[in-house]
Amino acid sequence: MNSFKNRFSAKSITGIAVLLALVIVLQAVGGTISIGAVQLNFTLIPIVLGAILFGAWVGAFLGFACGVVVLIQVISGAVPLYVLMWTNDPVVTTLTCLVKTTVAGFLAGVLFNAISKKNETIATFVASAIVPIINTSLFVIGCLFMKSIGGEATGAGYNVLIYILVFIVTFNFFIELGINLVFAPALKRVIKIIERK
């Protein structure tokens, strides 16, 4: 009973609420900065922090919230690539949006919990890396279930998967991975220092 109370104390609920607000705000208005074909995405950081600080289910919850915001952006036509995906296959697009960050957040929490018993620093870096890895992998898998969009996606007649593999995975994945590996562990350390004081 004590562990249940500790998990859902006012302090932890406040922390989860702050991370949820960050996920929503970052994804909705400022989480992605476009530089040409490359997008710098900071939205995965609060998902990682939630999984590390509060466990796998909180990571999954924050990931699902992120997926809902992405789905709203897809349906509203905020991102051209997503419009093409939605037009091509709304069911697969919906599942991809909702599942990818949910699973990523959950697995980050599970791996952090398992590895932190031996080494918390390594566990933090593994959790920080696994979120963009799973997020991108499930995105690509979702795209595998879609039909060719043809010339609309790239202007050169390639199917959407080739476009995604070349531009999204090659550029965005490594940038997201780098951002997570730098910022999530650094922010976790700052939070731990603040908690001690």
pLDDT of residue 41: 72
Q: In whole angstroms, what is the distance from residue 90 CA to residue 74 CA?
A: 9
H/E segment holding residue 35: strand 32-35
CATH of residue 191's domain is 1.10.1760.20
Beta bridge partners of 32: 41
Q: Whole-prediction pTM value?
A: 0.83
Q: In whole angstroms, what is the distance from residue 102 CA to residue 4 CA?
A: 22
Backbone dihedral angles phi then psi of residue 55, each to the nearest 5 degrees: 110, 175
Q: pLDDT tens digits, residue range 89-104? A: 888 889 999 999 999 9
Instruction: Provide the pairing of β-strand 38-41 with 32-35.
Output: antiparallel
User: Domain tally for the chain?
Assistant: 1
Note down the domain range covering 164: 2-196
Residue 142 has pLDDT above 80, yes or no: yes
Residue 70 has pLDDT above 80, yes or no: yes
